[in-house]
Amino acid sequence: MREGINSMKMDNIAFRLIDMTSPVTLFLAKKVITMDPAAPCAECVASQHGTIVAVGPTETVMKALALHHCAIEVDDRFREYYIYPGFSEHHMHPHMMGAFLRDAHYIGYVDRKGVDGTRLPGIQSVDALIERLRQLLRHDHARLASSATQWLNCWGFDPLLLNNADVSRDVLDQVSTEYPICLSHASGHVINVNSRALTLCGYERMPADPNLFCYEDGRLNGTIAELAMMQPAIANGAARMDFSLEGLLDAGEIATRIARIHGCTSITDKGTNIPVIPGNMAAEAWIKGAAQKRLHTRVIMEPWFSSIERWRYKTWSGWEAVEALRNEYHPRLSVGNYKLLADGSIQAFTAHLLPDQSYVTPGKPNGLLLMDADAMAKHIALAESHGMSCSIHTNGNGATEAALEAIALVRANNPNPGFRHSLEHCQLATENQFYRMARLGVTPNLFANHLYFWGDVHCKYTVGPHGVRRMDACRSATRYGLKHGVHSDDMVTEVAPLFSAWCAVNRRSLTGVVYGEDQCLTVDEAMRVITYNHAWLAHQDDVRGSIELGKWADFTVLEEEATEAVRERLKDIRIIGTVIGGDDIMLN
């Protein structure tokens, strides 16, 4: 037996969980990393009927099972590899991601993989972008000419990554004034459209609005921010994908398959029935996908706050439908938190900052608070009355402040019996705010990926050198004992928990600059975040997140162990495969 494993008490076997009439599957590994502090590693893990029934030294476990006359099926395909608890992506938008990959044209700055795994090349200049749009216009001409409702829809755009480029109405009109064009920003909070789109959607007849941007001469420039103001465009075909039931089933299948390839055994849909998807279609697609066994990972649905009345399940509607789904067990599908939206996006200059702070680009006003503390408190109290925690989108520290004030208002009259409210993204939180999170029992789910893709532009255009060094402050969150998360927010950045962990460990930007080295996590800490912490945030630490008796037999298998020695290439460790429930095994 290998040194370090033999000396530990790892011979844990749950005989009362074992059905003696069925075999136990014993997975052998070079090392099992459990995320259980009492027994951090083992040689093997055994499962039966989806549950972990033994963890420990191989010889000890096999002898004990044999003594009890348990049939054993040894699976040694991972004998030379490292078994971890299943990775989890705890903030993404899978239906949007799958639909965009399938139905729209990618125009992001960096390469990413398409539905079939082929490379979608990044576009890194305005000239290249305009040429690409003209190519797409020629390619889609027959479709665009077939109906006035047909748009040239593209996604992944970010002007800051193109040196704060002007790709507004007049620029897009150089591509076409005949057909409506929509460039959806990577953030999901902004679109750019051409003159044809503005006319089609009636924007020029609308009263002035801070989220409807203008040129200096007062003309609309085609930049439209935040969901409420984008809705007229979406209703007329902007960013419109195939959101039919079958279209969403397919999008969910695409998203969960890609997440699974990147090591996920669980993902969270942060905003099921988001308003851009009609009716109850998103929830219905998840339910049907689970029933048809089309989900490649476990999925947690988080209901979008403004769409509760649209929920339907069997004979129930609204909150009753949500509660019925929460109370009905399905191994692949569950209901999680209640999703709120407090502000916008930092790189779109719509995140809400504290009053004494401002964006470093001249002329950029503070982003609007989309929901004030009083309104948030009402939603939080409502969610708690239904037994649900809240996930609150707060990019700016002003929005974080409002969320903390709201939770404090609720706590003034109602002690916390175990709710785990989270602040999603929470990118600019101050030390004082982290301290108050700990006092209030609130946890941040930090957007660690953001520093890699946007660290340089945040330094130059949004929050400046000091602000970017404190963005996504994983070390501060850890210092205050917060079981924080890190995430991709896919469709914003690609789902890949190992990459998110690498970002939290290295804080390195696209150009190789390290922003805020004092906020880096250790590799062990980051690996715990993408396994145990994410399960805890989802109220599922009783069934996953660590390799312990009685938990789901969900594993992610790596070619090598994630240690400090590989911190620089953590994101590049090969994922051998994943196991869900002990018998659903997918090899990469």
Same domain, 112 and 173: yes
The one-digit pLDDT tens for each residue of the chain (588 residues) are 343 333 333 358 999 999 999 999 999 999 999 999 999 999 999 999 999 999 999 999 999 999 999 999 999 999 999 999 999 999 999 999 999 999 999 999 999 999 999 999 999 999 999 999 999 999 999 999 999 889 999 999 999 999 999 999 999 999 999 999 999 999 999 999 999 999 999 999 999 999 999 999 999 999 999 999 999 999 999 998 999 999 999 999 999 999 999 999 999 999 999 999 999 999 999 999 999 999 999 999 999 999 999 999 999 999 999 999 999 999 999 999 999 999 999 999 999 999 999 999 999 999 999 999 999 999 999 999 999 999 999 999 999 999 999 999 999 988 888 999 999 999 999 999 999 999 999 999 999 999 999 999 999 999 999 999 999 999 999 999 999 999 999 999 999 999 999 999 999 999 999 999 999 999 999 999 999 999 999 999 999 999 999 999 999 999 999 999 999 999 999 999 999 999 999 999
Examine the domain organization and report whether 394 and 484 are in the same domain.
yes
Residue 469 and residue 345 share a domain: yes
pLDDT at 12: 87
- Could you tell me the CA-to-CA distances from 409 to 325, 412, 420 in Å, in that order? 29, 5, 16
pLDDT of residue 11: 54
Helix axes 449-457, 497-506, angle to 10 degrees: 50
- Bridge partners, 51 (sequence order): 48, 552
On whether both 16 and 123 belong to a single domain, the answer is no
Instruction: Give the span between the Cα atoms of 321 and 212, in whole angstroms.
Output: 36
Does 499 map to a domain? yes
CA-wise closest residue to 266 among 583, 581, 587: 581
- Structural domain that includes position 173: 105-235
Alpha carbons 269 and 567: distance in angstroms, whole number: 29
The type of residue at 193 is V
The residue type at 536: W
Provide the sign of the torsion angle of the four alpha carbons 322, 328, 329, 332, taken in this order: negative
| End-to-end alpha carbon distance in the chain | 29
Residue 559 forms part of a structural domain: no
CA dist 49 and 384 (Å) reads 34
586 in any annotated domain: no
Beta-strand pair 443-446/485-486: parallel
Instruction: Please name which of 552, 559, 547, 566 lies closest in space to residue 501, comparing C-alpha atoms.
Output: 566
For the purposes of burial, counting CB atoms within 10 Å of the CB of 503, is it exposed (0-12), middle (13-18) or buried (19 or more)? buried
Q: Which of 160, 183, 177 is nearest to 104 (CA)?
A: 183
- Residues 368 and 479 occupy one common structural domain: yes
Task: Verify that 22 and 141 share a domain, yes or no.
Answer: no
pTM: 0.95
Looking at the structure, tell me whether residues 512 and 387 fall in a common domain.
yes
- At 306, is the secondary structure helix, strand, or coil? helix
Question: What is the rounded CA–CA span in Å between residue 32 and residue 476?
Answer: 29
Six-digit token pair at 179?
């057909």
Provide the pairing of β-strand 119-120 with 181-185.
Answer: unpaired
Give pLDDT, residue 7: 36
Q: Is residue 309 part of a domain?
A: no
In sign, the C-alpha dihedral spanning 487, 492, 495, 497 is negative
Contacts 24+ apart (CB under 8 A), 382-387: 382/338, 383/337, 383/338, 384/410, 384/414, 384/419, 386/319, 386/322, 386/323, 386/338, 387/323, 387/326
Flag whether 70 is in a domain.
Answer: yes
- How many domains is the chain partitioned into structurally? 3
Residues 50 and 173 reside in one and the same domain:
no
CATH code at position 35: 2.30.40.10
- CATH number, domain containing residue 477: 3.20.20.140
Tokens of 16: 């009362």
Which residue, among 96, 95, 49, has the nearest Cα to 288 in the 3D structure? 95
Is 228 among the domain residues?
yes
Shared domain check, 111 and 53: no
End-of-domain residue from the set 544, 564, 579: 544
Q: How far is CA 230 from CA 163, 194, 202, 214, 408, in A?
A: 24, 14, 12, 15, 32
The confidence score (pLDDT) of residue 1 equals 36
* DSSP H or E segment with residue 41: strand 41-48
Whether 493 and 347 map to the same domain: the answer is yes
On whether residue 290 sits in a domain, the answer given is no
Residue 566 included in any domain: no
State residue 188's pLDDT score.
94
Pairing of strands 82-85, 555-558: antiparallel
The answer to whether residues 67 and 115 belong to one domain is no
- The CA distance from 99 to 251, in Å, is 5
Looking at the fold, whether 476 and 347 belong to one and the same domain comes out as: yes
Given this model, what pLDDT does residue 416 score? 85
CA 529/CA 425 separation, integer angstroms:
15
